[in-house]
Amino acid sequence: MIIQTVRSDDGGREGKWIALSIALILAVATLLLPYHQAAIAQQAVKSYQISIKDLDTESLAMIAELRLAHEEIRNIYQDGVDFENREIWADISELEALWVAPFIKDKSWERKGKHAWSKVAPAFYQGIPELDSGTVSTILHTAQAEPDIWLNLSRTAKPFMSDGGQLGKAWLMNAGWKQVVFANAVSHQDEQAH
């Protein structure tokens, strides 16, 4: 009589091969992952610019409010153009009445330096702090779809009025203002490269 032992097929052998295959795939993926990363395009900051990464938290809070205010101001402007055929940028009193920060005088306004806001030219809003603490003098230019924010880091800015629309990038650069560069600003060509 011949006795033969038959093992039950519990899937153990196949399970070991599957586990080995998964481990091999993970090992290869781990080794190749660094070579498959997209290069992050760093935008060079020019001498008249400052990166948003280099600003303190109070300035970042002010810029966040200015970005939201930019959207509100653009909406008010577009409503005027669409419904009333007028091209008038909102005044500071109108922005205060609509509770658009940072133009309203509240606790945040006090903490940031009690900025005295004025519309210095069409689409240009300047804030000069009354206190030495808080954020620096600020200009918000709202004529474009994206906000254009300028800071005077020397704290020597004085209120000014534009003389016949001469206020612009060249004037601000010559006056010592720094344009805020947002970290996520990538050119259209860089987006298409990926």
**Residue at 35: amino acid letter:** Y
Residues of 34-54 as b/e, b for ≥16 C-beta within 10 angstroms? eeeeeeeeeeeeeeeebebee
Confidence of residue 69 (pLDDT cuts 50, 70, 90): very high
pLDDT, tens digit (0-9, with 9 covering 90-100), for 100-115: 999 998 888 888 889 9
Cβ neighbourhood burial of 137 (10 Å; 0-12, 13-18, 19+): buried
Of 20-24, 109-113, 152-156, 171-175, the least confident: 152-156
pLDDT per position as a tens digit, 120-130: 888 899 999 98
Distance CA 33, CA 31 (A): 6
CB 94 within 8 A of CB 76: yes
Q: Output the CA–CA distances (angstroms, integers) from residue 187 to 16, 41, 44, in the order listed.
A: 50, 9, 12
Encoded tokens for 142: 């709202």
Lowest mean per-residue pLDDT among 5-9, 19-23, 157-161: 157-161
Q: Are 147 and 67 in contact, with CB atoms under 8 Å apart?
A: yes
Identify the DSSP state of 9: -
Given a cut of 80, whether residue 71 has pLDDT beyond it is yes
Q: Say how far apart CA 45 and CA 41 lie, in whole Å.
A: 12
A 10 A CB-CB count for 8 gives: 6
Looking at residue 159, its pLDDT comes to 73
Residues 28-56 pLDDT 10s: 999 998 887 776 666 678 888 999 888 98
Which pLDDT band holds residue 188 (cuts at 50, 70, 90)? very low
pTM: 0.69
φ, ψ for residue 96, nearest 5 deg: -65, -40
Question: Strand pairing of 137-141 and 178-181?
Answer: unpaired
Mean pLDDT of the chain: 83
